[in-house]
A and B are shown apart, each in its own frame.
Chain A
Amino acid sequence: MILFEEVSKIYADDQIALNKVDFHLKQGEMAFITGHSGSGKSTLLKLVSLMERPTTGRIVLNGNDISHIKGNDIPYLRRHIGMIFQDHRLLMNRTVLENVGLPLLIEGYSRYEIKRRSLAALDKVGLTGKESSFPINLSGGEQQRVGIARAIINQPPLLLADEPTGNLDPKLSLEILTLFESLNQFGMSVLIATHDLGLIAKMRYRTLTLRDGDMINDGLLRERNE
Chain B
Amino acid sequence: MSNKMGAKRKLSGSPKINKVSFIGRVKATLVQHVHQVIHSFFELWKTPFATLMTILVLGVALSLPTVFHVVYKNVERVSGQWDSASEVSLFLKKNISEERVQVLINKLGLYEDIEAVTYISRHQALLEFKEMSGFSKALSYLDENPLPAVLVVVPVKSAMNTAGSKLLVAKLEREQDIDLVSVDIDWIEKLQAIFYLVVDMVIGIATLLLLSVLLIVSNTIRLNILNQRDEIEVLKLVGATNSFIQLPYIYIGAWYGFLGGVIAWLFSWVLVIWLESGVMNLTGLYQAQFQIISLNFDESITLLIVGAVLGFIASFISVKQYLVKIEPK
Which residues of A approach B to under 8 Å, CB–CB? 27-28, 49, 51, 61-64, 72-73, 75-80, 83, 89-91, 93, 102-103, 106-110, 112-113, 116-117, 150, 154-157, 186-188
Contact = CB atoms under 8 A, between A and B. Distances in A.
B2 A64 contact: no
Contacts, number: 95
Interface string B71-109: 000000000000000000000000000000000000000
A83 B238 CA distance: 8
A197 B237 CA distance: 28
Given A51-B327, A91-B231, A155-B9, A107 B237 contact: no
B293 interface: no
B240 interface: yes
B238 A64 contact: no
Contact of A108 (B9, B14, B20, B235): B20
Nearest to B237: A83
B1 A64 contact: no
Nearest to B6: A113
A102 B238 contact: yes
A78 B238 contact: yes
B17 A80 contact: yes
B234 A89 contact: yes
Given A77-B15, A150-B238, 15 more contacts: A49-B237, A51-B327, A51-B328, A63-B14, A76-B241, A79-B15, A79-B238, A83-B237, A89-B230, A102-B234, A106-B244, A107-B239, A108-B25, A154-B19, A188-B11
B166 to A, nearest CB: 64
Nearest to B233: A89
Interface residues of B, number: 36
B137 interface: no
- Secondary structure of the A side of the interface? loop
A75 B28 contact: no
B28 A62 contact: no
B329 interface: yes
B199 interface: no
11 contacts: A28-B11, A51-B329, A62-B13, A76-B16, A79-B15, A79-B239, A89-B230, A91-B234, A103-B238, A109-B5, A155-B8
A113 B2 contact: yes
B32 interface: yes
Q: Output the residue of A51, A77, A79, A83 with the most chain B CB within 10 A.
A: A79
